Amino acid sequence: MPVEDAWVDGPGGAVHALVQRPAGVGPFPTVFQVHGGPMAHDRDAFTLAPAAWVDHGFAVVRINYRGSTGYGQEWQDALRHRMGLIELEDIAAVRAWAVESGLADPARLVLAGGSWGGYLTLLGLGVQPELWTLGLAAVPVADYVTAYHGEMEALKAVDRTLFGGAPEEVPERYAASSPITYVEAVRAPVYISAGLNDPRCPIDQIENYVQRLEKSGKTHEIYRYEAGHGSMVNAERIRQLRLELEFVARHLP
């Protein structure tokens, strides 16, 4: 299926997005698939999830937000001290373009991603609740302070660099960038999948977030599986994608 390039004006410069469309005439229900990392990028290559969504009638938009690699050092380093919030500004700009251009149906917009993309999904549902219809978050950071204390030492060092210190040193930055801070603002049904033995995004911080969803009466589902930060077993990966498709089928208008 062809991939189109889109360059969208954002608050930090032009944002590159990759767009795939199903057959027919839009506006389409649209999945905004957010990559992990954040030091990574989406490219024009076959990927399982976008292909499956397009086959089910969705447009797919993948966004190389600030923090992505491949667009220069300044673009990659732009996240410092406002983690998550910078990326969401770029995602919102691309969302606005997708709606205004007639590609995306504003009543059927899914924010989705895994790892850092899962983190941005949960953060986006709380910080930008008016923008999204559903959320799909795989192995996310959900409670940043708890995640910091439970993650591998190398990741703690990365977080200290990006935030400008540990949670005890700059607590306001971690609070501003943590999805759990914004649970009460979430409007969209949210689906979370999590590995029970994940050393990067530990399960306990996800459980903290889920408990807050439950106390707030938010529509949600969580799928827990016996693995770490994702699964390398094809049958399990297919199962996880099928569960996401089924969740969207149940909850999308």
Catalytic positions: 115, 198, 229
The structure tokens listed for 125 are 């549902």
Residue 107: burial class (beta carbons within 10 Å; 0-12, 13-18, 19+): exposed
Q: Report the distance separating Cα 215 and Cα 19, nearest Å.
A: 37
Say how far residue 55 (Cα) sits from the centre of its chain: 21
- Our CA angle for 103, 107, 109, nearest 5°, is 65
Amino acid residing at 21: R
CB 247 within 8 A of CB 180: no
Name the burial class of residue 168, with classes exposed (0-12), middle (13-18) and buried (19+) by CB atoms within 10 angstroms of its CB.
exposed
The encoded tokens of residue 216 equal 């707030």
Pair of tokens at residue 59 = 């447009």
**189-205 as b/e: b if 16+ CB within 10 A:** bbbbbbbeebebbbbeb
